[in-house]
Structure 1
Amino acid sequence: MKLYSISIKNLLRHKLRTFLLLFVLVLAIFTFVVLITISRVVNENFAKQLDEYGANILVTPKSNSLSITYGGMMISSVEYEKNELREDDILKIRTIKNRENISVVSPKLIGIVKVNVGSNSLMKSAIICGVNFESEFKLKKWWKILGRKPSGKDEVVIGSEVARSFNLKIGDVVNIEAQVFKVSGILEETGSQDDLMIFADLRSVQDLLKKHGTITLAEVAALCYNCPVEEIVRQISDVLPNAKVTAIKQLVESRMEVMHRFGKFSFGISGIILLISALIIFTNILASVNERTKEIGILRTIGYKQNHIMRVILTEILVISFVSGLLGYLLGWGVSMIVSPILSGTTNVKVSFDWILFILSIFISLGIGIIAGIYPATKASKIDPIVALRAL
């Protein structure tokens, strides 16, 4: 009788033990696959949401003197009269190699204007920021507005501090550089420089400041979960040689740190479960060898050598390990397809068949089986047939 036939018959004869070993190893591989797959899918989805939640790249003129802070970065003085970026130049950002990774480009023109309210002839200075409202609201999804978004060029959104300083309410009329604007919305307090600004249409601000076609800076939201943001910065710098392109490193690093923590957690839990499974398999195989002392003694008596006995035991383990790896991955993949959309909070999640993870699962299962079974198999091969037969 061939050795592998003996192994298969032993597995079929000891159904309960075979089922227990299969169950333990399938559960371990299943857990490993589910954790890794869900971690990857949720991380990617979370990273996309983070990347879409604000700018991570700032584009400013190269030669400007810096004097005020915007979004955690220093920008040029609002009183300068030259060296602004051209609005047309910003369009080049959409031509870079990784343009698919560019989510939002929001150009801005910032300046100091004279403001008075109603019949009050007292003029006060304020900071105005010309923006493309569609891009700005897409960039700053955390903005909460009392009122509504501007629907025309003569409407503005004001920060909470501006509203308090000028005693403005929704619907009030404000004179900016002798031009009339209506307050359509007031930003809820953000704790940032946005509280101190008046936000108006970019074209209107360019007309007010007589700086047609120019901007102070551009904020860029780049999807960097699968592309290094430094590479996007380099590509933008290449197409805008007269601009200073800077990654907001603190934000990028915090995003990547969140992703790394998710990955470490998943691998850590998976490692612990696989280790526990290996110990359970080891103890079960060792107990099985002790129970089969008589059987092994008979095989040795009829001519089977030590390496034959070892091969029989290891073949049983490898068969169980291979089947466990196969079933564990398929079950894990199926459950991941169900659970991932729930954990991601969106139905737009695709969990594709991962051949690398599939092969890795089988190899891990085989590795656990071999590591857990090598000592029991060696012990079985060294059983003295005479001692074993005496126990009959």
Structure 2
Amino acid sequence: MKLHNIAINNLRRRKAKMAFLVAGMVIGIATIVTLYTITTAMEQEIADKFDQIGSNMTVVPQSDSLSMSYEGVSASDVGGSVNLMTMNDVAKIRTIKNKENIATVAPKLLDSLEVEKKKRLVMGIQFPAELRLKKWWKINGSKPENEKDILLGSEAARALGKKPGDQLEIGGSRYKIAGVLEPTGNQEDSVIFMDLSTLQALTGKKDAVSFVEVAALCYTCPIEEITRQISEKLPNTKVTAIREAVQARKDFVDRFSQLGISVSIIVLVIGSLVVLTTMMSSVNERTREIGIFRAIGFRKSSIVAIILMEAGIISIIGGVAGYLVGMAAAKFTAPVIGQMEVIISWKYETGLASLVIAIIVGLLASFLPALQAARQDPVEALRYM
């Protein structure tokens, strides 16, 4: 009879013990899979949220007299003598070493212009880049489609008594109000937004830029390094990284990940001890059987192989079942644990890793009982017959 047939028959005859071992293996692997899957999914979700929150860096011209009001620039400064950047400076941002981590570069020009016979704060922006950056903007009306279309902040629209579709005179020229932003709760509510190149031409500040907002894919990238690289490219600017927006959630995921690793190690140790004690008990119960095998000519290596085959079969079943149970548990518990929308996807890499871990744990835990069985004296073992 072949060794693997002996191992399979032994498991069939000891169904209760086999079920106990498989259950222990399933619980251990399922716990690891659940914690790993949830942690990975949460990290990805937070990375996506991080990329959607808008700018996480600002680039402002250095100026000792600059009054901080809107991202480092205030209405009182824009009409005076302050340092300005240029569009050439903006282009340099995309030439840094980590340029692949730069998602959006949104230059802005601020100026105080006469609007309806009153001085109003006007911001020149590149609408496609700005709309990518400000994904939370909700526009009543439509998005600007050409250089004659403008957007109004909610407070600016209220003060001017304007609505989408109306005309507005700015600096002696008339523009169409494409849309009005819903209240954002910040400075944007009081701003009039128009095309950057149009405002540059209107104010005679060709290629001028007041400051730049940069959205970098920086959940996992070195944001400090990117900040340094931009500062090197633009030495006369102040580059500030803004990371607080999702730092709390990131810290939570880091702590949860550390907890998951600790729990996984504990579960692996407990699972190994369960397999070890159960296999030791099984070997003791099969003293007579092992003695017969040794008496009829089975080598020590054959006895070890039989015990390890049994452990391997149990480990394979436990690994596969543990992966399936763990993924199912992750789908149900991830939204509760993460308190966010979490997408759990089935990955064959995780299933393969689960199987490998189960086999390694099962074989290592069974190796000592296998050696103990192989060292039994056949004469001594046959005394139990």
Q: Could you say which TM-score interval applies, normalised by the shorter chain?
A: 0.7 to 0.9
What residue number does 2:62 align with? Answer: 62
Aligned equivalents of 2:173 and 2:55: distance in 1? 31
Kindly state the Cα deviation for residue 389 of structure 1 after the two structures are TM-superposed: 8.0
- One of 191, 201, 208 as aligned partner of 2:195: 201
Opposite residue 217 of structure 2, the aligned amino acid is L
Tell whether the 8 Å contact from 1:108 to 1:130 is kept in structure 2 after alignment.
Answer: yes
Kindly state the Cα deviation for residue 188 of structure 1 after the two structures are TM-superposed: 1.2
- Verify: 1:231 aligned to 2:225, yes or no: yes
What residue number does 1:93 align with? Answer: 93
- One of 240, 247, 259 as aligned partner of 2:241: 247
TM-score by length of 1: 0.74
Residue range with higher mean Cα deviation, 272-281 or 223-232 = 272-281
Aligned equivalents of 1:258 and 1:110: distance in 2? 38
Counterpart of 1:67 in 2: which secondary structure?
A: coil
Aligned equivalents of 2:233 and 2:346: distance in 1? 37
- One of 202, 208, 233 as aligned partner of 1:214: 208
Tell whether the 8 Å contact from 2:50 to 2:219 is kept in structure 1 after alignment.
Answer: no
Kindly state the Cα deviation for residue 226 of structure 1 after the two structures are TM-superposed: 3.4
Question: Residues 334-353 of structure 1 correspond to what in structure 2 (within 5 A)?
Answer: none
Aligned equivalents of 1:198 and 1:85: distance in 2? 21
Q: Structure 1 residues 235 and 183 mapped into 2: Cα distance closer, same or farther (>3 Å)?
A: same
Counterpart of 1:69 in 2: which secondary structure?
A: coil
User: C-alpha deviations, 1:238-257, integer Å up to 9, x for none?
Assistant: 33233222211323634633
- Verify: 1:79 aligned to 2:73, yes or no: no
User: C-alpha deviations, 1:136-185, integer Å up to 9, x for none?
Assistant: 11111111111221223222211122223333333333322232223222
Counterpart of 2:155 in 1: which secondary structure?
A: helix
Tell whether the 8 Å contact from 1:66 to 1:75 is kept in structure 2 after alignment.
Answer: yes
Give me the identity figure in percent.
Answer: 38
Residue range with higher mean Cα deviation, 360-369 or 213-222 = 360-369
Opposite residue 237 of structure 1, the aligned amino acid is S
Residue range with higher mean Cα deviation, 43-52 or 1-10 = 1-10
Opposite residue 68 of structure 2, the aligned amino acid is I
Kindly state the Cα deviation for residue 276 of structure 1 after the two structures are TM-superposed: 5.7
Aligned equivalents of 1:100 and 1:178: distance in 2? 42
What residue number does 1:172 align with? Answer: 166
What residue number does 1:146 align with? Answer: 140
Aligned equivalents of 2:325 and 2:101: distance in 1? 31
Aligned equivalents of 1:64 and 1:143: distance in 2? 32
Tell whether the 8 Å contact from 2:124 to 2:200 is kept in structure 1 after alignment.
Answer: yes
What residue number does 1:319 align with? Answer: 312
Counterpart of 1:88 in 2: which secondary structure?
A: helix
Aligned equivalents of 2:266 and 2:154: distance in 1? 51
Residue range with higher mean Cα deviation, 296-305 or 173-182 = 296-305
Tell whether the 8 Å contact from 1:325 to 1:366 is kept in structure 2 after alignment.
Answer: no
TM-score by length of 2: 0.76
Tell whether the 8 Å contact from 1:103 to 1:223 is kept in structure 2 after alignment.
Answer: yes
Tell whether the 8 Å contact from 2:25 to 2:358 is kept in structure 1 after alignment.
Answer: no
Counterpart of 1:74 in 2: which secondary structure?
A: coil
Aligned equivalents of 2:52 and 2:213: distance in 1? 12
What residue number does 1:256 align with? Answer: 250
Question: Residues 119-134 of structure 1 correspond to what in structure 2 (within 5 A)?
Answer: 123-134=117-128
Kindly state the Cα deviation for residue 368 of structure 1 after the two structures are TM-superposed: 6.3
User: C-alpha deviations, 1:341-377, integer Å up to 9, x for none?
Assistant: x989899x9876549x946862465346645x68877
Tell whether the 8 Å contact from 1:33 to 1:328 is kept in structure 2 after alignment.
Answer: no
- One of 149, 152, 155 as aligned partner of 1:155: 149
Q: CA RMSD in A?
A: 4.5
What residue number does 2:25 align with? Answer: 25
Q: Structure 1 residues 313 and 291 mapped into 2: Cα distance closer, same or farther (>3 Å)?
A: same
Mind listing any 5+ residue stretches in structure 2 that lack a counterpart?
none
What residue number does 1:104 align with? Answer: 104
Kindly state the Cα deviation for residue 230 of structure 1 after the two structures are TM-superposed: 1.7
Mind listing any 5+ residue stretches in structure 1 that lack a counterpart?
117-122
Counterpart of 2:151 in 1: which secondary structure?
A: strand
Kindly state the Cα deviation for residue 31 of structure 1 after the two structures are TM-superposed: 4.6
Kindly state the Cα deviation for residue 90 of structure 1 after the two structures are TM-superposed: 0.8
State the number of aligned residues.
Answer: 377
